[in-house]
C-alpha cells in the first residue's frame, strides 16, 4: 500500500479498492462517492479502481449495483473512463481481462480474479 490507500502494482500502475457500500449509503450517496473516487483516481494517477457495490439481498442485484453500473456504462460511452469489467466477467478467459493482464501483469494477484464476484466492478481510468 502507498500513502493514498492505493496499491502500487508495478511501474506506472496503481490500483485502489473502494467500498461504495460502506456506511450503508443511499443510492444517491453511493453514486456521488463513485464520481468523487473517479475524480480523485485521475488526480492521484490511479489506473484501476475495484468498486465494491455489493450484489444485494434480493438475488437480482441491489439498487446500488444496478445504478453504479448504469453510471459506469454512461461514463464509458462518454469516454470518461477507459474500461469497465463486471466482477462476474473478471476472468482470465474474458477478452478485456486478457488485455488488462497484458498491460498490467501484476494484476494476476488480484483477489477477485476468476471468482465471478457479482458484487464488484473494475474500472480502468485514463
State the angle between helix axes of 63-78 and 27-43 in degrees (0 to 180), rounded to the nearest 10: 40
What confidence tens digit (pLDDT) does each residue in 31-53 have? 999 999 999 999 999 999 999 99
User: How many angstroms from the chain centroid is the CA of residue 92?
Assistant: 16
Q: Is the pLDDT of residue 117 over 80?
A: yes
Tell me, what's the pLDDT at 60? 62
Q: Is the pLDDT of residue 105 over 80?
A: yes
Q: What is the mean pLDDT of residues 92-118?
A: 94
pTM of the shown model: 0.87
Spell out the domain ranges in the chain. 7-124
Tell me, what's the pLDDT at 13? 75
Q: Where are the beta strands (DSSP E) in 26-95?
A: 48-52, 83-86
CA distances from 74 to 12, 51, 79, 80, 102 (A): 27, 16, 9, 9, 26
Which CATH number does the domain 7-124 belong to among 1.10.40.30, 3.40.50.1370, 3.30.1370.110, 3.40.50.2000?
Answer: 3.30.1370.110
Tell me, what's the pLDDT at 8? 41
What confidence tens digit (pLDDT) does each residue in 49-99 have? 999 999 976 666 689 999 999 999 999 999 999 999 999 999 999 999 999
Q: What is the mean pLDDT of residues 102-118?
A: 94
Amino acid at each position: 500500500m502507498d500513502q493514498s490507500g492505493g496499491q502500487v502494482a508495478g511501474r506506472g500502475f496503481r490500483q485502489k479498492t473502494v467500498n461504495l457500500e460502506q456506511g450503508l449509503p443511499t443510492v444517491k450517496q453511493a453514486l456521488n462517492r463513485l464520481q468523487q473516487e473517479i475524480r480523485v483516481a485521475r488526480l492521484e494517477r490511479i489506473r484501476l479502481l475495484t468498486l465494491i457495490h455489493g450484489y444485494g439481498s434480493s438475488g437480482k442485484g441491489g439498487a446500488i449495483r444496478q445504478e453504479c453500473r448504469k453510471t459506469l456504462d454512461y461514463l464509458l460511452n462518454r469516454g470518461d473512463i477507459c474500461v469497465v469489467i463486471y466482477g462476474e466477467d473478471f476472468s482470465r478467459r474474458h477478452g478485456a481481462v486478457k488485455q488488462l493482464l497484458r498491460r498490467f501483469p501484476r494484476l494476476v494477484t488480484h483477489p477477485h480474479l476468476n471468482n465471478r464476484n457479482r458484487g464488484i466492478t473494475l474500472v480502468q481510468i485514463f
